[in-house]
Structure 1
Amino acid sequence: MAADALPVLSDAARALAARCESKAGELGRRITDAALSGPPASADLTPEAKDPRIEAAARHGLRWLIRRAVRGDRGDTRLLRERAAQHADDGLPLHLLLRGQLHGTHALWRSLRAAARPGEEDALIELAGFLLAAQEYLVGAVSETYVDERAALAAEERERDRSLVRALLDGSLPADRFPAARLGLADGALVLALRLPPGDGPVRAPLAVRRELRRVQAALDRTYGTDVPAVLDTGGGHAVVPGHAVPHGTDDDLLARLRHACSPEIRVAAVPAADPGGIAGAARTASEILRVARAGGLAPGLHRLDDVLLEYHLAHRDGSGERIAALLDPITGRPDLVETLRTYLGSRQERRSTARQLGLHPNTVDNRLARITELTGLDLATPHGTALALAALLLRDAAAAG
């Protein structure tokens, strides 16, 4: 209900309300104990911190009610809202704040009833209706401001955590200066690298991107039952899960939630870090696992190092890396052949599975594989030729990414 929708009182009702105008302070002090005595009591606030805040909040609410009743104007709720925001910032529980407001309205009604004179029964009934309507508006204004302020504080805290994690990942914040205990990372973490598939169309609307990232963040938080600091953009990013929040067997749950939030084509890599000092290295390893898994033709999903151990080893350059990568030079200008090779190797050399994934006839796959062998000299029918082809593919992708 809006303040301007409150009923306009008669002269008799306003006169009755005016006789109680000077009692707001006394009523506010009187209701403080009542507001704190009912369950649930606030155990996390000291008695010294309780009384003044609840009393002040009730007193401000009472004054607003009386002024609105006596003067018939809209009344300024700015101070009420400012106080509600301050109480949210101070951590005063909302139930205590609202209880104080409700006790205040009740106390005002008792005061009005006691001040009523014979013949003012109609004015008293009118004021009862006014208080019920005004209480709806007052409680709504206070709770709305309180909730908005708490949401803003939570968003600021999450952004601070995200900035700290970003600085740790990029090396601009040394691990010994990282507040690991506050973020629950003192005993280690599970570092996730995420690769989000591109959306439909050449350019995605910013609003759609923000919604998708919020869904991904929510999926992370729900899976692990805590706020998971994540640094994400349209292509993916990293998340750092506190070690205590990683029960056994959450991989399938995480993947199912992320696929629902984003796309079945999402890729995730998970690498544990024993302490904050290992988080940056774990993030690099996780990113490399994603790259290798994709280059090796593994289906989208959640990958760990053991899933791509051979590919990971082969993908790292040494003195012979350039020569191995050059084996695929003859098909560089044939993306159809490169993709066929990648899919064939990722399908464990199953030609029918390769054909199905590429939308081709199996005979077309056979023709392409034969053409690859003809151009490169790699015999994909032998373990040696397959290993060389895989290594060449991984090394070329590593060079392109690097």
Structure 2
Amino acid sequence: MTERSEPASKNGVPAGRGADESGRPDEKVRRDTARRLDRAMGSLGTAAMARMEEQLLWYRALSAEDRSWVGLVAQAGIAAFVEWFGHAGEGRPTPNIEFFGTAPRELKRSVSLQQTVDLVRIVVEVVEAQVEELAAPGGEDLLRQAMLRYTRDVAFAAAQVYAREAEARGSWDARLEALIVDALVRGKVDDGLHSWAAALGWTSSPVIVFAGYSPGDDPQSVIDGLRDRGRRVGYDLLAGVQGDRLIVIVGGADSIKDAARSVAPRFGPGPIVIGPEVADLHAAAGSARAAIAGLRAAAGWPDAPRPVMAEDLLAERAIDGDPAARVQLVENVYTPLVGTPLLDTLATYLEQGTSLEATARLLFVHPNTVRYRLRKITELTGYQPTEGRSAFTLQVGLILGRLSLT
């Protein structure tokens, strides 16, 4: 006698086991399973919470309020599955996945996408572990297949929720970053600046400001490229495109040279000016002013290195009308020399075309005395009168010092 084979399965449920002759799941089996699920909702939620507490370290580390919200989301997910399963044959082929909306935005920031996947996995494991008890006789495969479909759609739903949150967060971060850069450029610095920066995760010092020209690409793509570069090298970085100008603020660099090596290639053609290094973001307004003033005046020194320090453009900035550069030059050049023979020596040396002998004759001193005084001038001002760029800066500083007395 040959053994009679079981009818072929359809929809994953063998005919004769919870299915009618056409292979469709038996409606009575589905309804009985749905009633069992409905009665077990509370115990399923409790079991899911207990398993999360046991297996998920991140869940135990959450605050009591966030754990409560996670529990509500898990319970809502189970309830949504039970509702969907109970009406699967009534024109509702798509699971109801709106239960993710029950979580507040703060929870979505506390719980990552990976952790949400962990949560869904725990809930699935809890239900699968009780399939034999939850399903009506002959409905085990029906329940398992329903769980597979439902969890697939839940996974896509979670990804969509986090994608929307990421997009919203990215837009907000971009606006906040633009506000910070604009405030530093305009010098409108207050306590709110640190709050804005903290919201973006800024924790680094010292701070260096770069000013140059945008490469002409889409501004947001330029900023995104700079931000990615900053993350790779471990810097905090803020950037803003204002017209054709690109401003980059770097925090946490080991040196100005390291920071310049990382960000300079992202600028477009033309000069790049580096403001003085400052202690924190609050003091970066001064560095930004110096860098931008240097960018305006950089055309006065066509052979300047790229990038160039704003300090090295003091003379050009002063001629261009930068009041901070004028004050700094007077303090650096004129003030240390005034009231000493060094001031007359410097003025004479520069007026005589940096001729040592001509200066000595006019001052009635030995050339060695002039050499000694020139060395003292270098020690006091940081500029060497015998070098072309330094002599030019000293000359501008002398003129500004004399004008300040009128």
TM-score range, shorter chain: 0.5 to 0.7
Relative to the length of structure 2, the TM-score reads 0.61
Specify the SS of the correspondent of 2:286: helix
Residue 302 of structure 1, aligned match among 285, 301, 307: 307
1:291 aligns with 2:308: no
1:45 is matched with which residue? 62
Residue 230 to residue 184, structure 1, CA distance change in 2 (3 Å): same
Q: Which amino acid aligns with 1:195?
A: Y
Residue 315 of structure 1 and its aligned partner are, at CA, apart by 4.6
Specify the SS of the correspondent of 1:297: coil
Q: Which amino acid aligns with 1:282?
A: S
1:179 aligns with 2:194: yes
1:247 is matched with which residue? 254
Residue 139 of structure 1, aligned match among 151, 155, 163: 155
Pairwise mapping of residues 230-241 of structure 1 onto structure 2 (< 5 A)? 230-241=239-250
Q: Aligned partners of 1:268 and 1:83: how far apart in 2?
A: 50
Pairwise mapping of residues 34-183 of structure 1 onto structure 2 (< 5 A)? 34-42=51-59, 44-46=61-63, 48-72=64-88, 73-75=92-94, 77=96, 79-84=98-103, 86=105, 88-89=107-108, 91-118=110-137, 120=138, 123-173=139-189, 175=190, 178-179=193-194, 182=198
Q: Which amino acid aligns with 1:253?
A: R
Q: Which amino acid aligns with 2:261?
A: D
Of structures 1 and 2, the one with the larger relative CO (CA 8 A, separation 6+) is: 1
Structure 1 segments, 4+ long, off by >6 Å, are 5-8
Q: Aligned partners of 1:9 and 1:233: how far apart in 2?
A: 64
Residue 268 to residue 306, structure 1, CA distance change in 2 (3 Å): closer
1:32 aligns with 2:49: yes
Relative to the length of structure 1, the TM-score reads 0.62
In terms of mean alpha carbon deviation, does 24-33 or 309-318 score higher? 309-318
User: What number of residue pairs does the alignment pair up?
Assistant: 302
Residue 50 to residue 281, structure 1, CA distance change in 2 (3 Å): closer
1:189 is matched with which residue? 207
Structure 2: which 5+ residue stretches go unaligned?
A: 1-10, 14-23, 324-387, 397-406
Residue 284 of structure 2, aligned match among 275, 279, 283: 279
Q: After superposition, what is the alpha-carbon deviation per residue over 1:145-176, rounded to whole angstroms, capped at 9, x for unaligned? A: 03431442354245334324422431344x45
Do the aligned partners of 2:208 and 2:276 also contact (CA within 8 Å) in 1? Answer: yes
Residue 215 to residue 234, structure 1, CA distance change in 2 (3 Å): farther
Do the aligned partners of 1:35 and 1:96 also contact (CA within 8 Å) in 2? Answer: no
| Percent pairwise identity | 16
Do the aligned partners of 1:185 and 1:275 also contact (CA within 8 Å) in 2? Answer: no
Residue 210 to residue 230, structure 1, CA distance change in 2 (3 Å): closer
Q: Aligned partners of 2:157 and 2:273: how far apart in 1?
A: 44
2:37 is matched with which residue? 20
